[in-house]
């Protein structure tokens, strides 16, 4: 794929560290990648707490105030996914989330290659 290697590592570390924070011991976190047309789609999937639609709509934009309660609970600074999104966009990629509250989350992103 065509991307900055250190940036890609940082993206994966951020998303996996979130998955670890929100998944109980004994849960599952998986990373997979597949080709689709001129893109490589990477998926990081967990079967942890999941997120409501409302939270899903806010996690990639600066929402420090409204998300502050959730972020205080998990002791996050609340900037990981903002950085991840910025990194990906600078490398011509995109990120999105699919999640069901109580069942888990999948973070998907792509690069061109």
Binding pattern for the stretch 3-22 against Mg ion, x by CB under 5 A and - elsewhere? ---------------x----
Composition of the chain by helix, strand, coil, percent to 5: 35, 30, 35
Least CB distance from residue 110 to ligand ATP, whole Å?
18
For 94, which DSSP code?
A: E
Does position 45 interact with ligand ATP (CB under 6 A)? The reply is no
SS (H, E, C) 14-54: HHHHHHHHCCCCCCCEEEEEEEECCEEEEEEEECCCCCCHH
**Residue whose CB is less far from ligand ATP, 46 or 109:** 46
Structure tokens at 101: 């509250």
The answer to whether 107 and 97 have CB atoms below 8 angstroms apart is yes
Task: For the segment 65-84, give every residue that binds Mg ion (CB under 5 A).
Answer: 76, 80
Does position 48 interact with Mg ion (CB under 5 A)? The reply is no
**Among residues 74, 90, 92, 100, the one that binds ligand ATP under rule CB under 6 A:** 74
The torsion defined by the Cα of 105, 96, 113 and 15, in degrees rounded to 10, comes to -50
Least CB distance from residue 8 to ligand ATP, whole Å?
17
Residues interacting with ligand ATP, by CB under 6 A?
18-19, 22, 46, 48-51, 55, 59, 70-71, 74, 76-82, 105
């Amino acid at each position: 794929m065509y991307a900055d290697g250190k940036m890609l590592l940082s993206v994966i570390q951020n998303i996996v560290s979130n998955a670890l924070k929100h998944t109980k011991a004994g849960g599952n976190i998986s990373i997979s990648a597949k080709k689709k047309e001129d893109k490589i789609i990477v998926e990081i999937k967990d079967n942890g707490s999941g997120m409501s639609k409302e939270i899903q709509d806010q996690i990639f934009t600066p929402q420090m105030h409204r998300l502050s309660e959730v972020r205080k609970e998990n002791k996050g600074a609340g900037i990981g996914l903002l950085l991840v999104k910025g990194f990906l966009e600078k490398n011509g990629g995109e990120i999105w989330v699919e999640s069901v509250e109580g069942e888990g989350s999948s973070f998907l992103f792509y690069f061109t290659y």
